[in-house]
Homo-oligomer: A and B are copies of this chain.
């Protein structure tokens, strides 16, 4: 399991990518049409033999994480006679790295792949940790694999290509990492201006390292890795519900709301103290609001479809205090309901 490497200019990133592509019999590059317009032209001219790279473009957005999209790309690989030593470069946000990672992990039982995340969410979270996945029936990542990329190459300045909503989405995961493992990072995130990509870019590496350290300790998610699910149990349910009524929220937005609910649960249960909870609430409420139409009864069915459930109990990752988190905590769902309803009525 190799660590993500950071490259602070397009030239350095391209140089490293070039090095990693050597030896591959064929190179495919998966991206979406936004990234193809905004990032690809910065990198492609810097690569030797760029004309030999087979570029596969999908629509931007979560809807591309689908079985029929996989089907098309598998067909493309087969028609191009892609062998086991072909390489797939996934250039894009979490959708691209989740989708491309899954495809690479099952095509011919696994070909090498490289992630080059272009979104903040990708850099801090989705591209790190070797999980891949696609969605089905509004259930996120319900089909997927554990598969580790050959390399993860990060150029933090790519985030300047992102709309503010995407920055916010990734920011939620940075806040999560800070709460579960790094109180000093939390203090920093409170101060910076999230509308300034330069500010954010300063803290990407620190956030990424938190996730990497946790994953290295527990790749198969049998124990401590589960703390990364903080905010996600409620967050995924909100996200799935919103998707099911055709009013999708970004993943980060849903996670931010999940963090709010689960932090409040922690506070109620004697975990986070009032000061810490209030700081979290103040930081996230600036950028994230609950959707108007979303009631507890709406999200409840989606809570039961979480991959982390065992024997139909819902388990949470719950911070003990700022910087420390417990996992596999069975919490009465009435606690979750109470926290959720207090927040939506605030």
Chain A contacts to B: CB under 8 angstroms: 25, 67, 70-71, 74-75, 78-79, 81, 83-85, 102, 105-110, 131, 133, 136-137, 139, 141-146, 304-305, 307-312
Contacts and interface: CB of A to CB of B under 8 A. Distances in A.
A76 to B, nearest CB: 10
Contact of A78 (B71, B110, B136): B136
A309 B136 contact: no
A13 B305 CA distance: 33
- Interface of A, helix, strand, loop or mixed by DSSP: mixed
A106 B145 contact: yes
Contact of A25 (B139, B142, B312): B312
A109 B307 contact: yes
A146 B305 contact: no
A107 B25 contact: no
Give me the 8 closest cross-chain CB pairs, A-B, nearest first: A108-B307, A109-B144, A78-B137, A83-B309, A106-B143, A25-B311, A85-B310, A74-B136
A44 to B, nearest CB: 25
A58 to B, nearest CB: 17
Contacts of A305: 78, 81
18 contacts: A25-B312, A67-B67, A67-B71, A74-B143, A75-B136, A75-B137, A79-B137, A81-B304, A83-B307, A83-B312, A84-B308, A84-B310, A106-B145, A109-B141, A109-B144, A109-B307, A110-B145, A110-B146
Contacts of A310: 25, 83-85
Listed residue (A108, A133, A139) with the most chain B CB atoms within 10 angstroms of its CB: A108
A40 B79 CA distance: 40
Contacts of A311: 25, 83, 85
A26 to B, nearest CB: 10
A312 B83 CA distance: 8
B142 A307 contact: no
Listed residue (A102, A105, A109) with the most chain B CB atoms within 10 angstroms of its CB: A109
Contacts of A312: 25, 81, 83
A94 to B, nearest CB: 16
Contacts of A84: 307-310
